[in-house]
Amino acid sequence: MIVIMFSWMFGEKKSDTPTAGEAIQKLRETEEMLMKKQEFLEKKIEQETATARKNAKTNKRMALQALKRKKNHEKKLQQIDGTLTTLEYQRDSLEAAGTNTAVFQTMGNAAKALKKAHLDMDMDVDKVHDVMDEIAEQQDVANEISNAISNPVGFGNDIDEDELEAELAELEGELELQEQEDLDKKLFKVELTLELPEVPTAEPAKVEAPKKMEKE
């Protein structure tokens, strides 16, 4: 019997430490209970205030008792407010810790997966540099080939640039002369139009023919 008692008192106990999720749930339940208590105290404060006002002139003793009860309710309400703030802080801390733990685990798993991928591909920094150098070298070769193809041999190399400039200036002079001739023709037509007399618009008067004299 004594052995059983000591075993129960000092024996190995099962861990009662809740998980983060269980603790958060318990905090939420406690917060809800305290908020209900808040609503109850706020109503009581309103009731005691109304009682004090009602008896302020007719029953001073009752009014003072109502104010005392009101003060007690306000003190309890203030304590609940402080407790709720503490509980909310604890809940936020637990939620943040849970989030950080999940993020840390995810990052660890990702790092392991990335390391495994590099090992499976037999990839290291030196090999990557070698591949990039080879890509750059082949890109330079491709650019040289493209430049060679886009520059036909023996075409346009013997053209005199000064001769082209002179020909272009001659063409510009011809265009200006042609434009001036067209402008002169248009002005001449306008002058002719202004000098012509106006065409009469009224109908000409009719002239009657003389009547033949009757024979006597």
pLDDT (average), residues 11-23: 71
Q: Which domains does the chain have, with CATH numbers?
A: 19-120 (1.10.287.1060)
**How far, in whole angstroms, is CA 147 from its chain's centroid?**
43
Query: How would residue 155 be classed by pLDDT, with cut points 50, 70 and 90?
Result: low
pLDDT at residue 20 in the model: 82
pLDDT tens digits for range 176-195? 888 888 888 888 777 666 65
Q: Do the beta carbons of residue 52 and residue 66 sit within 8 Å?
A: yes
Percent of the chain clearing pLDDT 70 (strictly above): 77
Give pLDDT, residue 82. Answer: 95
Phi, psi (deg, nearest 5) at residue 202? -80, 150
User: What's the CA gap between 178 and 185, in Å, rounded?
Assistant: 11
Per-residue pLDDT tens digits for 70-120: 999 999 999 999 999 999 999 999 888 888 888 889 999 998 888 888 787
Quote the crossing angle between the two packed helices 60-120 and 20-54, to the nearest 10°.
160
